Amino acid sequence: MKLLIPLLAVLLLPACATAPLDAWDRGYLARPEMAWDPDSLSASQRSHVYFSKEASSGGVSAGGGGCGCN
């Protein structure tokens, strides 16, 4: 039941569909700071640290292995 709201939010995302943008209208979306993770090294390091220090981990990626971190 706790998962119902986030699950519904994910499934309903396509309902936000918008009209296609023209190529020349993508300038802002193409900016580096608009990437999901603009600094991938920083993102992977932070993810590794939080994985080591918190009980929760995971996201939308199939990569990465475990570690014996204390």
Partner 1 sequence: MKSKNARGHSAGAFKALSAAALAIPGIVSQVQAAAPVAEAELDYKASAYREADIEGSKLAAGSASRYEIDTHQLRFISPLGRASDLAVDLSYETMSGASPWFIMPGTGGGKPVQVMSGASIEEERKDIQTSIGHYFSQKVSAKVLLGFSTENDYQAVNMGVEASIEIPARELTVTAGIGFSDDEIEPTDPGMPDRIDSATRTSTTAFVAIAQVLNNRTAVQGGLTLVNNDGYLSDPYKKVWREDLSNTVADKRPNERQQVIASARLRHYVPSLRGALHVDYRFFDDDWDVSSHTVDLAWYQNIGDNWQLTPSLRYYGQSQAYFYGPFFYSARDDGYASSDYRLSPYGALSFRLRLERNWGEFSANFEWESYRAAANLAPDDVSVENPGLVEFDILSLGLNFHL
CB of 67 to partner 1, least distance (A): 6
Instruction: Classify the C-alpha dihedral 55-57-63-69 as positive or negative.
Output: negative
CB of 37 to partner 1, least distance (A): 9
Give CA 48 to chain center in angstroms.
15
What is the DSSP code string of 39-55?
SHHHHHHHHHHHHHHSS
CB of 53 to partner 1, least distance (A): 6
The binding site for partner 1 (CB under 8 A) comprises 2-3, 6-7, 9-10, 13-14, 16-36, 38-42, 44-46, 48-50, 53-68, 70
